[in-house]
Structure 1
Amino acid sequence: MTEIRKVAIVGGSRIPFVRSNTAYSDASNMDMLTAALKGVVQRFDLEGERLGEVAAGAVMKHSRDFNLAREATLDSGLSLQTPAYDVQQACGTGLEAAILVGNKIALGQIESGIAAGTDTASDAPIALNEKYRKMVLRLNRAKTLGQRLKVMASMRPSFMVPAIPANAEPRTGMSMGQHCELMVKEWGVSREEQDQLTFNSHQNLIAAYQRGFFDDLIQPFNGVSRDGIMRDTPLEKLAKLKPAYDRENGTLTAANSTTLTDGAAAVLLASEEWATARNLPIQAYLTHSEVAAVDFYTAGQQSEGLLMAPAYAVPRMLARAGLTLQDFDFYEIHEAFAAQALCTMKAWEDDDFCKNKLGLDGALGSIDRSKLNVNGSSVATGHPFAATGPRIIATLAKLLEEKGSGRGLISICAAGGQGVTAIIER
């Protein structure tokens, strides 16, 4: 029987996250992912080192990026013999990549690996109009001049209108924000709660910068050295912003929702033996994970909140780990929207949900809010979709290293009604 080994988190590196169409408007996913990987290579003196693998991905990719992880790895400074592959699970991509690498380390298949993610809305892929694309394919199949002319004669001006990426669920046509507005109504989350969580996130991020927490976690890129979305905005000003998704009755605003963000992050995982042999630190251990999905679309009606899958994943993970929701020193709940984090926590506090949906004896209970996203989270840092997981892992591992012991919970919602969660311990 294969011995299950501990999965050590050595540490991470990322570039600052910035609002799309600003400082990184000319940077590609390849540029940013390579920079994040180089940050890990330089921080841990891995130049020329052959790792077990690099798992990385992006949610918004050009066709030229079909082998994104491998191409970035080739430019990272690692040995060219380091294999790499792409991962994509919407906003859970980066955490899922870490789970995949960690599982191979645990099983003894590899000794080390990097999990990473990158995303840019500034360099979003713009596809050909579907009618034009099909016409080009017919033209390519044509054998004679007459056949080609016949295909070209079918061309219409409307064919030249490009297909712009849409931030909407394919099955509903609704944006994630519109789905979250439905969740807010279902769970009774107030505008005041959302703005307070948003304010706390920014204040925590500002405080973390002031005490130098990110000095070894963030590498400057394109002349930027700090996250560009962070703001010291008073609660009173947040309260005056207009709703962004439901103008009449909504509570989600541009501030309490994540904005389109460019950035990349990476984290180094290894066996204890590999890290010790290279005199590298072990900040914490990746010990448990769980991925879940919900039925958010049945017969054209929302049957479950699109972003509520973590509410299911976490209890399953806790049961396998033999832990309660209160057995943690830190909680990293991804703030796709402030409301999403609040809806998830309200579900765990709700007797009916926990009994009827989760099959538990009663509510999981509340968490200590002073332990929530203590260095800021996505509404403050920004959310380059695939990069959020590695950002959170590296942040949480360093927090546990500073504390000297403890346990942290990671919860990330993802498009398609999915959730990716994990536990980190020291």
Structure 2
Amino acid sequence: MADKPSTKAAKAPKAASQDAATIRRVAVIGGNRIPFARSNSVYSGVSNQEMLTAALDGLVDRFGLEGERAGEVVAGAVLKHARDFNLTREVVLGSKLSPATPATDIQQACGTGLQAAFQVANKIALGKIEFGIAGGTDTTSDAPLAVNDKLRKILLQANQANAKGDKKALVKLLTKIRPSYLAPDQPRNAEPRTGLSMGDHQALTTHEWGITREAQDELAARSHQNLAAAWEAGWQDDLVTPFNGVERDNHLRPDSTVEKLAKLKPVFGKQLGDAATMTAGNSTPLSDGASVALLASEEEATRRGWDVKAFLVDYETAAVDYVNGGEGLLMAPAYAVPRMLERNGLTLQDFDFYEIHEAFAGQVLSTLAAWEDADFCKQRLGLDSPLGSIDRSKLNVKGSSLAAAHPFAATGGRIIANLAKLLEEKGSGRGLISICAAGGQGVVAILER
């Protein structure tokens, strides 16, 4: 006789019915991730599904959700195999959550994890669900390889000929296959519209804004030092679940210094000649990892005895014309933040923490320079005065992507959990999240406590 289905899922509370004008506050309860790792290292034989399941199960264990039906799990991956068309649902089915938990896949390049949180938050705010989980995963070690396009077209035609029983046409088609057609199509780190890699795009922007090599190396060294200090203090312990024998981010270099980074040669922007400044040390590496964040209504947090670390107050998504509009590929956050600030009656200085994703040190510094520039703020943003400078001592205080690495879709969940914990420890305050993304897009958000 089949085992009796678990009753825990059936007892999950119904979302409160909300008046159309009622918008509920969305609480950040916490997060979890696995250690991030450099591509083709400790996770070389591990899939996106395995990594995201590990991150999710770690969250389930931490918050007592085994067998529970969550309102929804929303996550995604930038690089995934065709077989992973329903990745997040498959992860849920293989996790400790109730299989009755619905799941949705999304993808917006490096903004995926943060966009997943927005989708969950919207449903909580509108009273459709009581709690949900957002996240992302990515691996460049287990990257999808596609059949060469010429071979693919021949095989499709051959299949049609075979279905019609046309043996002559079938043989003729198969004789067209050349040895070179057997080489697979690999994922390309380049923008389809320009053919330039993200790094080469940012190299142009970094040069345009006059960001020095020393400034980039200083930011990179500080990121490694801050993350190393956080690990040594045990600060990361309740945010990370060991996985596959790995306990800490393996890209982290605790002994990183400006002097050591200065010895590296530029790897991006070689078209700039001697003016190139972006190296492997002040750019994020290809990497593998997964992260998730738990969001809930205040009522659900109270019912379950969960401590609310912070509230997701607002968010904004922007895009720029990097093809014909003369703007840098990764400059969209520079446009998104002022829109969000205006909507909330805030200034750029009204934050206790700034979590700015470090895709490249040059990207962070270009964005900060743009906000300080009167011409940019007036001509591009339509502002009467510059947004101004930030207190750099409040920037990425526990390290960021240059040190932890950047598995594309997993960065958003990492940052949400980090910032929420910082605000919880402070007891009150406000934090800004900013993430640039491929395709000339950017996602930003405000957390408060």
Matched, 1:204 2:226: yes
Amino acid across the alignment from 1:107: L
- C-alpha distance in 1 between matches for 2:99 and 2:446: 32
- C-alpha distance in 2 between matches for 1:233 and 1:269: 35
Question: What's 1:83 paired with?
Answer: 102
RMSD of aligned alpha carbons: 0.8
Amino acid across the alignment from 1:186: E
- C-alpha distance in 1 between matches for 2:68 and 2:302: 15
Q: Tell me if the contact between 2:214 and 2:258 (Cα under 8 Å) persists in the aligned partners.
A: no
1:190-228 per-position Cα deviation (integer Å, ceiling 9, x unaligned): 001000000110110011111111111100001000011
1:125-163 per-position Cα deviation (integer Å, ceiling 9, x unaligned): 011100001111111111121221121122111211111
Question: What's 2:188 paired with?
Answer: 166
**Structure 1 runs (4+) greater than 4 angstroms displaced:** none
Question: What's 2:277 paired with?
Answer: 251
**1:336 aligns with one of 359, 369, 381:** 359
Amino acid across the alignment from 1:243: P
Question: What's 2:204 paired with?
Answer: 182
Question: What's 1:288 paired with?
Answer: 314
Matched, 1:40 2:59: yes
- C-alpha distance in 2 between matches for 1:329 and 1:182: 31
Amino acid across the alignment from 1:196: E
In the comparison of the two structures, how many residue pairs are matched?
Answer: 423
Identity of aligned residues (%): 66
Question: What's 1:265 paired with?
Answer: 291
How big is the shift at 1:235?
Answer: 1.4
Amino acid across the alignment from 1:185: H
**1:412 aligns with one of 429, 432, 435:** 435
* Counterparts of residues 4-15 of structure 1 (less than 5 Å): 4-15=23-34
- Structure 1 unaligned residues grouped into runs of 5+: none
Q: Tell me if the contact between 1:2 and 1:107 (Cα under 8 Å) persists in the aligned partners.
A: no
- C-alpha distance in 2 between matches for 1:114 and 1:336: 24
Secondary structure at 1:148 match in 2: helix
Q: Tell me if the contact between 2:60 and 2:96 (Cα under 8 Å) persists in the aligned partners.
A: yes
Question: What's 1:145 paired with?
Answer: 167
- C-alpha distance in 1 between matches for 2:257 and 2:115: 35
Q: Tell me if the contact between 1:20 and 1:121 (Cα under 8 Å) persists in the aligned partners.
A: yes
- C-alpha distance in 2 between matches for 1:365 and 1:407: 18
Matched, 1:193 2:185: no
How big is the shift at 1:178?
Answer: 0.5
Amino acid across the alignment from 1:306: L
- C-alpha distance in 2 between matches for 1:64 and 1:245: 33
Secondary structure at 1:197 match in 2: helix
How big is the shift at 1:18?
Answer: 0.7
* Counterparts of residues 128-143 of structure 1 (less than 5 Å): 128-142=147-161, 143=164
How big is the shift at 1:246?
Answer: 3.1
* Counterparts of residues 255-404 of structure 1 (less than 5 Å): 255-298=281-324, 303-404=326-427
Amino acid across the alignment from 1:323: L
Secondary structure at 1:5 match in 2: coil
Secondary structure at 2:431 match in 1: strand
1:89-128 per-position Cα deviation (integer Å, ceiling 9, x unaligned): 0000000000111011111111111001000000000111
Q: Tell me if the contact between 2:354 and 2:431 (Cα under 8 Å) persists in the aligned partners.
A: yes
How big is the shift at 1:233?
Answer: 1.7
Q: Tell me if the contact between 1:291 and 1:420 (Cα under 8 Å) persists in the aligned partners.
A: yes
Q: Tell me if the contact between 1:33 and 1:265 (Cα under 8 Å) persists in the aligned partners.
A: yes
Q: Tell me if the contact between 1:50 and 1:82 (Cα under 8 Å) persists in the aligned partners.
A: yes
Amino acid across the alignment from 1:370: S
1:2-37 per-position Cα deviation (integer Å, ceiling 9, x unaligned): 300000000000000010100000000000000011
Secondary structure at 2:32 match in 1: strand
- C-alpha distance in 2 between matches for 1:415 and 1:96: 14
Secondary structure at 1:137 match in 2: helix
Q: Tell me if the contact between 1:90 and 1:385 (Cα under 8 Å) persists in the aligned partners.
A: yes
Question: What's 1:19 paired with?
Answer: 38
- C-alpha distance in 1 between matches for 2:345 and 2:385: 16
- C-alpha distance in 2 between matches for 1:272 and 1:150: 67
Q: Tell me if the contact between 2:37 and 2:287 (Cα under 8 Å) persists in the aligned partners.
A: yes
- C-alpha distance in 1 between matches for 2:196 and 2:318: 21
Matched, 1:67 2:86: yes
- Structure 2 unaligned residues grouped into runs of 5+: 1-19
Q: Tell me if the contact between 2:204 and 2:269 (Cα under 8 Å) persists in the aligned partners.
A: no
- C-alpha distance in 1 between matches for 2:69 and 2:256: 46
- C-alpha distance in 2 between matches for 1:351 and 1:245: 29
Amino acid across the alignment from 1:2: A
Larger radius of gyration: 2
TM-score of the pair, normalised by structure 1: 0.98
Q: Tell me if the contact between 2:355 and 2:395 (Cα under 8 Å) persists in the aligned partners.
A: yes
TM-score of the pair, normalised by structure 2: 0.93
